[in-house]
Amino acid sequence: MRIIKTKDYEEMSLRAAEILAAQVVMKPDCVLGLATGSSPVGLYQRLIGWHEEGVLDFGRVTTVNLDEYRGLAPEHPQSYRYFMNSNLFDHINIDKKRTFVPDGIASDPAAACASYDRKIKDLGGQDIQLLGLGQNGHIGFNEPADSFPVGTHVVSLTESTIEANKRFFASREEVPKEAITMGIANILEARKIVLIANGKEKALAVAEAFFGPVTPKVPASILQLHPDVVVICDQEALSLVPGEGESV
């Protein structure tokens, strides 16, 4: 695991965007595993900028997203499909038919989970998986638990995640209580993983996940076992691990 310390969010976004862009240049028909939330917005803006400058071509890229809220249709402004369209897909030359997000309104959620697992497998897995980090150490919506969930599954969001995500909704009551998420095995099967975290709210999760024991109580800690992980954090997110990380 390589840890890169950046001075701020902008620099974190640039470093992570450079890795994703390099992946697209290296393998134009690559599979990108993508995330939503506030962490990747700056990174997506960089990718859009390079596409507009004509140096990044998404024409043959396929994407698979980590998760989706249960009960939110793709047109719902807080759905993760809507987020991906408005923050990235609408602004690049990607074929939307090759962008996959779990189905949050499937009438048979178990079948939807199995079909998402099959989709990832059929695509040959992610060449690179981008991750954010929950304040409670979650990745995707794999919340702290007694064991690591394997495949795509429906999850009840913890109070801490509902609290953290209420900023995107008009009120706390509107935050969905469930999500459908890739499991830990789906994430670990990616050939390369890039995790980004910024701000002091993430400092405890960063310290526990990457400098503590591997435990399902801190789901991101399992990334310590993956052979190719880059963690890119601003200095606030690394503030509880003094002396760690490479300064840029």
Which residue in 5, 15, 81, 138 binds ligand F6R (CB under 6 A)? 138
Does 134 engage in binding with ligand F6R (CB under 6 A)? yes
| 68/112 Cα distance (integer angstroms) | 12
Which residue in 109, 140, 149, 219 binds ligand F6R (CB under 6 A)? 140
Residue 181 burial (10 A CB sphere; 0-12, 13-18, 19+)? buried
Question: CB 104 → ligand F6R: shortest distance, Å?
Answer: 12
Q: Which two tokens stand for residue 141?
A: 């919506």
Which residue in 30, 35, 190, 203 binds ligand F6R (CB under 6 A)? 35
The CA-atom distances, in angstroms, between 74 and each of 71, 97, 123, 126, 211 are 10, 14, 22, 23, 37
Nearer to ligand F6R, 51 or 202 (CB): 202
Which range of residues in 16-24, 113-121, 133-141, 238-246 is near ligand F6R by CB under 6 A?
133-141
Query: Is 165 considered catalytic here?
Result: no
Bridge partners, residue 196, by sequence: 232
Question: CB 132 → ligand F6R: shortest distance, Å?
Answer: 2
What strands lie across the sheet with 193-197, from one edge to the other? 99-100, 62-65, 31-34, 128-131, 193-197, 229-234, 2-6, 246-247
Which range of residues in 36-44, 94-102, 149-157, 204-212 is near ligand F6R by CB under 6 A?
36-44
Total residues at interface with ligand F6R (CB under 6 A): 14
Nearer to ligand F6R, 62 or 136 (CB): 136
